[in-house]
């Protein structure tokens, strides 16, 4: 074992890998069926309304896009911050980042009212829209990470190029997540948004969610293809994850404390933090407790070496992240906009009322279809490209360059 | 409406032939909008900014004439599901939290000078005409609904279902976003919006339509005469729709 | 590049052959119109109607000039194909003026997701609605026809 070198090899086509692929294919088919169903009948068959205009597909899409940027953490640790322990894990990080982003964009596009007009979007740009900038940031991200992967994988490219490519990708993904957070941060109309802190909050979320997804995907790929994965490598990443989870909690705390200080936002804060029903439960119970404090306690109680702990921590962080995005996206919309301060308002169009939203099955299946797409793409990437080292045991010495 | 097509054409031709002259010579001075007519007009004119003044004290709580008129004019009757049906114009009832006094008023697209919906639209489908009317170009609307997220007035609706029997002058369809057009098709013919006309017809006279840039227009004179407010003044969007006696 | 040029040329040849055939031959059966003929001529209209409508729709929508020549509403003043009862048919009906050609050249028309496909005043039945999108009601029939065609072709081989 001790004499093994890091050799990147395509993952073998084990029965378990095929099984996982089939399972994911079922989700892909379900997602496609959901898309066709909604496209045929219109959005009336979803839970989305004229009050809650963005629903479950957007929760999944934003999760995937944010996680995509974070999935590149491992590569950045290796190339930008020169942590050699992360070098063998770097290529998979790039593949996963591209796949997650593609999955997220797929969900976003298929939920459009007119998905057939994707070409219109690609030929009409309104540069005062952060959406337009995000389209450029997202496509650019895929291109930059592709170059970054090529620089790492092509033996004819001198290794000195890895760092510049890695730095470019690192800066790019910070811009990307800033853009994603600004979709909400720049919405002046709604009390739940309109906050500059959305951008750094989304960056912190991307670090945490992306790393958590990476850990689970790495574990799954190694288990399914029968490759060794040293627990020390994983627990190193989990300790880093602890830092990111703490950062998310910090930005969340600042976000809500700032809002609490402003009288005009008290109503919204009261809704999210105290009497928002499912949103309050999701915020405190799932986002803060299960997705934040519990993982932190598990990591810093020194239990990082227990076998299932990294899997559990990562799963909890992902669950908390989904809850957080749900509270931001849906919670921010169900709370009514204040058109007439000082008055209690009512109308036939739900003015002044908390809007109702129940995610429908097609929406959830479309979102899960996007997740399945990202995972299938990562799996196919690992199957046809040499991105995953054949031996990731702790005794395997780390290669240079 | 279609049986009068021939007549409409000739009338339009007439207006068109005199349009340049009319807008230049008659614009200052002729302000008949509130009484059922407006300046001869055959195209969007950058020298104008169309607006509405809504007097909440004259708006009867039980009256929906403006909404019905808008539905008839633009053909947006819903299918009975209030949550997904579109709503170009709605009546909002306000109750003062301290005094309990109730007011009723219509809210529609406020036709902002700096519309957030136009800023956020990724394709540029949301646009502002040079005379200040904010519209959706449904040919390039992809149905992303970001404008609905950005509008502070909840003025925009998404078409959740297939629609039939649209009006020729008000095309609208599934998967796109829509809102009050200030009856742009009527304005271009020198007429006033259907809601204003209907409000006049009920005798309430709570709505005045006209050119905000023309100091002699009815709307400008009234705005100069008594205090009025814009909704969400904190956002400084300078809406074309103003309210008084809220 | 060269291949695509070849294909484009081939299509153009076939198309011109089809047009040359006129009403009775392989070409589409175009419903009779009322009113005066277009001064530009039918060939011009066939080639340029979408550009004309596109141009005039933008002039109408952005500049508010509403007395345009090329408008969908204007088309249906003369080009409203009628059913047995004399009622103008909607785009849901294969006899609709626009469909007579567009079905033939397999070009999906987006217009009638939003625009009415009959003159103002005609009551359009709801069947008109679900036309857009991938799962159009005619999809089943199209697939059926394709299967039947392929089956017949195979038998013929």
Q: What is the CATH number of the domain that holds A45?
A: 1.20.1630.10
User: Which chain A residue's Cα is nearest to C136?
Assistant: A40
The minimum CA-CA distance between A242 and chain B, rounded to whole Å, is 34
* pLDDT for residue A387: 93
Chain C residues at the A interface, defined by Cβ less than 8 Å, are 110, 130, 133-135
* pLDDT for residue A42: 93
Burial class (CB in 10 A: 0-12, 13-18, 19+), C110: middle
Residue-averaged pLDDT of chain A: 93
A contact chains, 3+ CB pairs < 8 A:
B, C
The minimum CA-CA distance between B83 and chain A, rounded to whole Å, is 6
Contacts (Cβ under 8 Å, ≥6 apart) of B245: B55, B56, B57, B58, B103
CA distance B186 to B184: 5
* pLDDT for residue A202: 97
Under an 8 A CB cutoff, do C113 and B2 touch? no
Q: Is the pLDDT of residue B145 over 70?
A: yes
The arithmetic mean of pLDDT across residues B87-94, rounded, is 96
Question: Based on the structure, what is the number of domains in chain C?
Answer: 2
- The partner residue sitting opposite A120, judged by closest CB among B92, B140, B157, is B140
The answer to the question of residue A342 being in a domain is: no
> Does residue B157 belong to the interface with chain A, where contact is any CB pair within 8 Å?
yes
Instruction: Look at strands A343-347 and B89-96 and give their pairing.
Output: antiparallel
- State how far Cα B121 lies from the chain centre: 20
Pair A237, A213: CB distance under 8 Å: no
Whole-complex ipTM = 0.92
Contacts of residue C116 in chain B, CB cutoff 8 Å? 164-168, 171
Pair A375, A23: CB distance under 8 Å: no
Q: How confident is the model at residue A127 (pLDDT cuts 50, 70, 90)?
A: very high
Pair B77, B67: CB distance under 8 Å: no
CA distance B242 to A46: 36
Q: How confident is the model at residue C131 (pLDDT cuts 50, 70, 90)?
A: low
- The partner residue sitting opposite B124, judged by closest CB among A114, A124, A343, is A124
The answer to the question of residue A399 being in a domain is: no
Q: How confident is the model at residue A342 (pLDDT cuts 50, 70, 90)?
A: confident
Taken in order of first residue, the domains within chain B and their CATH numbers are 2-244 (3.30.70.20)
Q: How confident is the model at residue C109 (pLDDT cuts 50, 70, 90)?
A: confident
Contacts (Cβ under 8 Å, ≥6 apart) of A172: A137, A140, A141, A144
Least trusted range by pLDDT, from A41-55, A175-189, C18-32: C18-32
Q: Is the pLDDT of residue A84 over 60?
A: yes
Q: Is the pLDDT of residue A392 over 90?
A: no
Under an 8 A CB cutoff, do C114 and B42 touch? no
* pLDDT for residue B36: 36
The minimum CA-CA distance between B62 and chain A, rounded to whole Å, is 12
C121 vs C1, which has greater pLDDT?
A: C121
The minimum CA-CA distance between A111 and chain C, rounded to whole Å, is 13
> Does residue B44 belong to the interface with chain C, where contact is any CB pair within 8 Å?
yes
Q: What is the pLDDT of residues A1-12, one digit of tens each?
A: 444 567 899 999
* pLDDT for residue A301: 86
Q: How confident is the model at residue B28 (pLDDT cuts 50, 70, 90)?
A: very low
Q: Do residues C44 and C78 both lie within one domain? A: yes
The arithmetic mean of pLDDT across residues A210-238, rounded, is 94
The answer to the question of residue A398 being in a domain is: no
Q: How confident is the model at residue C4 (pLDDT cuts 50, 70, 90)?
A: low
The answer to the question of residue A343 being in a domain is: no
- The partner residue sitting opposite B164, judged by closest CB among C67, C120, C124, is C124
Contacts of residue A112 in chain C, CB cutoff 8 Å? none
* pLDDT for residue B83: 94
Contacts of residue C114 in chain B, CB cutoff 8 Å? 138, 166, 171-173, 176
The answer to the question of residue A341 being in a domain is: no
Share of chain A above pLDDT 70, in %: 97
* Domain coverage including residue A37: 8-336+353-392
User: Which chain B residue's Cα is nearest to A127?
Assistant: B122
* pLDDT for residue B14: 38
Q: Do residues C107 and C68 both lie within one domain? A: yes
The minimum CA-CA distance between A360 and chain B, rounded to whole Å, is 14
What DSSP string describes A1-57?
A: -TT----EEPPP--HHHHHHHHHHHHHHHHHHHHHHHHHHH-GGGSS--SSS-S-HH
The answer to the question of residue A34 being in a domain is: yes
Q: Do residues C1 and C75 both lie within one domain? A: no
Contacts (Cβ under 8 Å, ≥6 apart) of A104: A60, A61, A62, A63, A64, A65, A68, A370, A374
Q: Is the pLDDT of residue C138 over 70?
A: no
Q: Is the pLDDT of residue A289 over 80?
A: yes
The answer to the question of residue A180 being in a domain is: yes
SS3 of B167, please?
strand
The minimum CA-CA distance between A339 and chain B, rounded to whole Å, is 6
Q: Is the pLDDT of residue B23 over 80?
A: no
Q: Do residues C65 and C110 both lie within one domain? A: yes
Q: Is the pLDDT of residue A61 over 50?
A: yes
Alpha helix locations (H) across B18-64? 19-21
Least trusted range by pLDDT, from A43-52, A392-401, B82-91, B177-186: A392-401
Q: Which residues are A347's β-sheet partners?
A: B92
The arithmetic mean of pLDDT across residues B214-243, rounded, is 96
> Does residue B71 belong to the interface with chain A, where contact is any CB pair within 8 Å?
no
CA distance A20 to A391: 21
Taking the CA atoms of A335, A339, A345 and A351 in sequence, report the sign of the dihedral they define: negative
Q: Is the pLDDT of residue A164 over 90?
A: yes
Q: Is the pLDDT of residue B81 over 70?
A: yes
User: Which chain A residue's Cα is nearest to B106?
Assistant: A347
Tell me the CA distances in angstroms from A203 to A57, B66, C22, one per residue in order.
Answer: 21, 47, 64
Alpha helix locations (H) across B156-228? 184-187, 194-202, 218-225
SS3 of B67, please?
helix
The arithmetic mean of pLDDT across residues A314-341, rounded, is 96
> Does residue B160 belong to the interface with chain C, where contact is any CB pair within 8 Å?
no
- The partner residue sitting opposite C124, judged by closest CB among B1, B16, B165, is B165
* pLDDT for residue A304: 61
- The partner residue sitting opposite A36, judged by closest CB among C110, C130, C134, is C134
* pLDDT for residue C27: 82
The minimum CA-CA distance between C62 and chain B, rounded to whole Å, is 6
The minimum CA-CA distance between A173 and chain B, rounded to whole Å, is 21
The answer to the question of residue A401 being in a domain is: no
Under an 8 A CB cutoff, do A39 and C135 touch? yes
Question: Based on the structure, what is the number of domains in chain A?
Answer: 1
* Domain coverage including residue C56: 31-156
Pair A100, A122: CB distance under 8 Å: no
The arithmetic mean of pLDDT across residues A371-400, rounded, is 86
A230 vs A369, which has greater pLDDT?
A: A369
Token pair recorded at residue B63: 């009256």
Q: Do residues C136 and C116 both lie within one domain? A: yes
The arithmetic mean of pLDDT across residues C141-147, rounded, is 76
Residue indicated by tokens 């919204």: A268
Q: Do residues C23 and C74 both lie within one domain? A: no
Say how many C-beta atoms besides its own lie within 10 A of residue A151's C-beta.
Answer: 21
Alpha helix locations (H) across C27-137? 42-63, 72-78, 97-105
Under an 8 A CB cutoff, do A344 and B86 touch? no
B contact chains, 3+ CB pairs < 8 A:
A, C
Q: Is the pLDDT of residue C127 over 90?
A: no
Q: Do residues C40 and C19 both lie within one domain? A: no
- The partner residue sitting opposite A117, judged by closest CB among B85, B142, B148, is B142
Under an 8 A CB cutoff, do B90 and A50 touch? no
Contacts of residue C133 in chain A, CB cutoff 8 Å? 39-40, 116
SS3 of A72, please?
coil
Burial class (CB in 10 A: 0-12, 13-18, 19+), A192: buried
Q: Is the pLDDT of residue C147 over 90?
A: no
CA distance C69 to C57: 10
Pair B210, B34: CB distance under 8 Å: yes
SS3 of A170, please?
helix
Pair C115, C121: CB distance under 8 Å: no
Q: What is the pLDDT of residues C49-70, one digit of tens each?
A: 999 999 999 999 999 998 888 8
Q: Do residues C35 and C84 both lie within one domain? A: yes
Q: Which helix (H) or strand (E) holds B89?
A: strand B89-96
Under an 8 A CB cutoff, do C67 and B13 touch? yes
The arithmetic mean of pLDDT across residues A211-221, rounded, is 97
Q: Is the pLDDT of residue B19 over 60?
A: no
What DSSP string describes A267-311?
A: HHHHIIIII-THHHIIIIIIIIIIIIIHHHHHHHTT-TTSTTHHH
> Does residue C116 belong to the interface with chain B, where contact is any CB pair within 8 Å?
yes
Burial class (CB in 10 A: 0-12, 13-18, 19+), B179: buried
* pLDDT for residue A401: 35
CA distance C1 to A179: 38
Q: Is the pLDDT of residue B3 over 90?
A: no
Q: How confident is the model at residue C12 (pLDDT cuts 50, 70, 90)?
A: low
Under an 8 A CB cutoff, do A339 and B153 touch? yes
Contacts of residue C54 in chain A, CB cutoff 8 Å? none
Q: How confident is the model at residue C28 (pLDDT cuts 50, 70, 90)?
A: confident
């Amino acid at each position: 074992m001790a004499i093994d070198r890091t050799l990147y090899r395509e993952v073998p086509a084990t029965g378990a890998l095929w099984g996982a692929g089939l399972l994911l294919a079922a989700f892909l088919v379900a997602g496609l069926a959901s898309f066709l169903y909604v496209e045929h009948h219109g959005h009336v068959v979803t839970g989305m309304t004229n009050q809650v205009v963005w629903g479950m597909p957007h929760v999944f899409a934003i999760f995937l896009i944010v996680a995509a940027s974070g999935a590149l953490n491992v590569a950045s640790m290796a190339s930008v911050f020169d942590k050699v322990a992360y070098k063998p894990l770097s290529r998979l990080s790039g593949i996963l980042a591209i796949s997650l982003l593609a999955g997220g964009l797929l969900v976003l596009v298929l939920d459009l009212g007119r998905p057939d007009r994707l070409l219109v979007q690609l030929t009409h740009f309104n540069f005062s829209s952060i959406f337009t900038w995000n389209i450029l940031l997202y496509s650019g991200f895929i291109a930059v990470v592709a170059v970054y992967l090529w620089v790492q994988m092509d033996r004819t490219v001198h290794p000195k190029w890895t760092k510049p490519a890695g730095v470019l990708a690192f800066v790019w993904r910070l811009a990307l997540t800033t853009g994603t957070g600004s979709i909400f941060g720049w919405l002046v109309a709604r009390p739940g948004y309109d906050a500059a802190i959305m951008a750094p909050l989304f960056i912190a979320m991307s670090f945490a969610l992306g790393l958590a997804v990476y850990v689970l995907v790495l574990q799954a790929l190694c288990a399914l293809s029968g490759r060794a994965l040293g627990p020390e490598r994983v627990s190193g990443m989990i300790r880093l994850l602890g830092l990111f989870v703490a950062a998310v909690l910090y930005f969340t705390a600042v976000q809500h404390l700032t809002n609490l200080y402003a009288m005009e936002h008290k109503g919204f804060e009261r809704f999210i933090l105290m009497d928002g029903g499912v949103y309050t439960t999701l915020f405190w119970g799932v986002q803060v407790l299960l997705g934040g404090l519990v993982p932190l306690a598990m990591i810093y109680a020194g239990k990082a070496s227990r076998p299932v702990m990294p899997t559990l921590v990562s799963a909890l962080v992902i669950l908390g992240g989904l809850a957080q995005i749900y509270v931001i996206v849906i919670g921010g919309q169900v709370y009514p906009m204040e058109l007439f301060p000082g008055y209690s308002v009512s109308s036939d169009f739900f003015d002044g009322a908390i809007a109702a939203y129940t995610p429908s099955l097609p929406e959830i299946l479309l979102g899960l279809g996007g997740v399945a797409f990202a995972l299938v793409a990562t799996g196919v990437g690992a199957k046809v490209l040499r991105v995953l080292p054949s031996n990731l045991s702790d005794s395997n010495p780390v290669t240079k360059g | 409406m279609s049986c009068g097509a021939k007549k409409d054409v000739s009338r339009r031709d007439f207006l068109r032939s005199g349009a340049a002259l009319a807008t230049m010579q008659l614009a200052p001075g002729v302000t008949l909008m509130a009484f059922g007519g407006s300046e001869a007009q055959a195209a969007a004119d950058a020298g104008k900014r169309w607006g509405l003044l809504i007097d909440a004290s004259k708006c009867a709580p039980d009256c929906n004439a403006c909404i019905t008129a808008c539905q008839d004019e633009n053909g947006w009757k819903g299918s009975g599901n209030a949550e997904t049906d579109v709503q170009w114009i709605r009546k909002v009832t306000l109750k003062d939290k301290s005094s309990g006094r109730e007011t009723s008023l219509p809210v529609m697209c406020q036709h902002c000078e700096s519309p957030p919906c136009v800023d956020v639209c990724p394709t540029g489908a949301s646009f502002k005409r040079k005379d200040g009317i904010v519209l959706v170009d449904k040919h390039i609307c992809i149905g992303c609904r970001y404008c609905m997220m950005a509008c502070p007035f909840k003025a925009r609706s998404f078409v959740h279902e297939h629609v039939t029997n649209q009006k020729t002058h008000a095309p609208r369809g599934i998967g796109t976003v829509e809102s009050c057009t200030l009856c742009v098709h009527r304005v271009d013919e020198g007429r006033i919006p259907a809601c204003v006309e209907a409000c006049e017809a009920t005798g309430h006279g709570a709505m005045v339509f006209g050119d905000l840039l023309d100091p002699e227009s009815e709307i400008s004179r009234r705005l100069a005469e008594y205090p009025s407010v814009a909704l969400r003044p904190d956002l400084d969007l300078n809406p074309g729709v103003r309210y008084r006696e809220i | 590049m060269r291949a695509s040029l070849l294909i484009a040329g081939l299509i153009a040849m076939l198309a011109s052959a089809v047009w040359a055939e006129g009403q009775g031959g392989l070409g589409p059966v175009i419903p009779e119109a009322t009113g005066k003929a277009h001064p530009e001529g039918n060939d011009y209209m066939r080639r340029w109607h979408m550009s004309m409508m596109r141009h005039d729709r933008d002039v109408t929508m952005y500049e508010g000039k509403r007395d345009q020549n090329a408008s969908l509403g204007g088309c249906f003043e003369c080009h409203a194909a009628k059913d047995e009862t004399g009622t103008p048919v909607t785009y849901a009906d294969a006899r609709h003026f626009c469909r007579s050609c567009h079905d033939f050249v397999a070009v999906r028309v987006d217009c009638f997701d939003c625009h009415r496909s009959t003159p103002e005043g005609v009551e359009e039945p709801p069947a008109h609605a679900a036309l857009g999108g991938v799962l159009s009601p005619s999809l089943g029939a199209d697939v059926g026809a394709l299967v039947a065609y392929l089956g017949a072709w195979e038998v013929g081989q």
